[in-house]
Amino acid sequence: VILRDVTERERSRAELLRSNHDLRQFAFAASHDLRAPLRSISGYLGMLQARFASTIDEAARDLIERALAAVKQVDRLTDDLLTYARADAEATPAVDTDSNAALAESLRLLEAPIADSGARIDSADLPVLRTDPRALVRLFQNLLDNAIKYRGEQPLAILVRAERAPSQWIFSVSDNGIGVEPEYRERIFGLLQRLHTQRAYPGTGMGLALCRRIVERLGGTIWVQSNAGGGSTFCFSIPEPAAS
Amino acid sequence: MSPMKPVLAQARRAVVLMAEDNDDHVFLMRESLIDAKLLVDLHVVESGDLCMKFLRRQPPYENAPRPDLLLLDIHMPRMNGYQVMEEISADPALRPLPVVVLTTSSDAEDVNRMYALGCKSFLSKPVRFEDFAQMMNRLTDYWFDLVILPNAP
């Protein structure tokens, strides 16, 4: 009986691996096959703009602009879906990782949006821990990007911190942005879930879903809580037994 | 309208072979060459196996000109861009031909693999039409004006 259990577990593990592999193949193929016609559509629209600028009126130009914006949105979506599907393939083995360096790398990747938003970003108590460094960079990058996007009226201030818990590190990214209503605090981590219109805050609803996928792969959890003075704090845990 | 710009210093036009299965992208390429006012002798093949036949002047391409540059897509029917790149690199007669990969992918894996196989540049197809025309302008400037191309024996 035990023997059969093991065989069945082996088989379902093999099936899971295969379906993961299929999903990844699908994402690669879909990304290419969706992008090719998108390039064509935006190419034709661009030609309409360039060649008929003097013969079409304002209303027609507006329609072309709208169609181009829609194409761009689909292009972003295919990009983000691909990144999401690849999150596991990107995994690298855990090594001793300086989370200060990971944060610095994510700041470098976000140079333009940080400069545009005038965000002030501080960090405190970031440890060296054993984890996947690329995953940590991606997490910081997505959470900071999120904080920048959903900033409020006052100058944006972000604080990145870490805290030691018995068997894990808990990282947090706090901002003074628009915050998240309590009823949406679970939903925002779902795939393609958005709380705002494209007009208010452009995006694909993939960023936090990607964060959750990465954190879960690392064996941790991710959640959001609100700050006393408004804004939100995104927290994620990364398991690491305390040094003996 | 300013006159069309010949892109090779020599009297002849630069010959570009484009291996591309997507008709729309071929059309956009031709139109962007017109917009960029580039006089290029553009030939198109729709798959990797036809690309190799063109380069080797095998039927139906017995009279094909020798391309100065190959624009190579990756995803094509029957024989893909990787296989084309492998065959070109393995063939001493074709190895000098500069190959520029032009594809919708910007995937690091595709990029690294193509460079490892011997492509000279890797370009991701632009989304906007005006960027397409600008890219062809810069590409032809570089390959047909700035660099010294290998000479046909």
Q: Would strands A95-98 and A128-131 be described as parallel, antiparallel, or unpaired?
A: antiparallel
Model confidence at A189: pLDDT above 50? yes
Give the tens place of pLDDT for each residue, A72-86: 888 888 888 877 877
Q: Looking at residues A196-201, what average pLDDT do you find?
A: 75
What is the 3 state secondary structure string of chain A?
CHHHHHHHHHHHHHHHHHHHHHHHHHHHHHHHHHHHHHHHHHHHHHHHHHHCCCCCCHHHHHHHHHHHHHHHHHHHHHHHHHHHHHCCCCCCCCEEEEHHHHHHHHHHHCHHHHHHHCCEEEEECCCEEEECHHHHHHHHHHHHHHHHHCCCCCCCEEEEEEEEECCEEEEEEECCCCCCCHHHCCHHHCCCCCCCCCCCCCCCCCHHHHHHHHHHHCCCCEEEEECCCCCEEEEEEEECCCCC
Whether B124 and chain A come into contact, CB under 8 Å, resolves to no
Cross-chain residue pair A37–B24, CB shorter than 8 Å = yes
Confidence of residue A204 (pLDDT cuts 50, 70, 90): confident
pLDDT at A1 over 60: no
- Mean pLDDT of the A18-31 span: 75
Quick: pLDDT tens for B96-115: 999 999 998 877 888 999 99
Q: What is the pLDDT of residue A132?
A: 92
Which of A176, A118, A185 shows the shortest CA–CA distance to A151? A176
* Contact map slice: A 66-105 vs B, CB within 8 A: 71-72, 75
Q: Compare A123 and A80 and report the one with higher pLDDT.
A: A123
- For an interface test with B, the pick among A35, A39, A64 (most B C-beta atoms closer than 10 Å) comes out as A39
Best CA proximity match to A100, nearest among A142, A136, A143, A144: A136
pLDDT at site B27: 92
Minimal Cα–Cα distance from A38 to chain B, Å? Answer: 8
pLDDT at site B81: 95
Side-chain-facing half-sphere of A44: CA atoms under 13 Å: 12
Q: Say if residue A99's pLDDT is above 70.
A: yes
What pLDDT, on the 0 to 100 scale, is given for residue B11? 58
Q: Is the pLDDT of residue B153 over 50?
A: no
CA distance A102 to A150: 22
Contact residues on chain B for A40, CB-CB shorter than 8 A: 22, 24-25, 28
Question: Angle of helix A207-217 relative to helix A133-149, nearest 10 degrees?
Answer: 150
Give mean pLDDT, residues A157-164.
95
In which band, very low, low, confident or very high, does the pLDDT at A244 lie, cut at 50, 70 and 90? very low
Mean pLDDT calculated for residue range A75-103? 84
- pTM score of the predicted model: 0.68
On average, the pLDDT of chain B sits at 89
Strands A232-239 and A222-226, by their bridges, are antiparallel
Average pLDDT for residues B109-134, to the nearest whole number?
91
Strands (E), chain B: 5-6, 14-19, 38-45, 69-72, 99-103, 121-124
Strands B38-45 and B14-19: parallel
Identity (one letter) of the amino acid at B114? M
Q: Quote the percentage of chain A above a pLDDT of 90.
A: 50
Rounded to an integer, what distance in angstroms lies between the CA atom of residue B127 and that of residue A147? 28
Q: At what angle do helices B108-117 and B81-90 cross, to 10 degrees?
A: 20
CB count in 10 Å sphere of residue B128? 17
Q: Would the ipTM clear 0.90, i.e. be above it?
A: no
* pLDDT above 90: residue B35: no
User: How large is the average pLDDT for residues A14-31?
Assistant: 76
Give the per-residue pLDDT at B48.
93
B104, containing H or E segment? none
Average predicted confidence (pLDDT) for chain A: 87
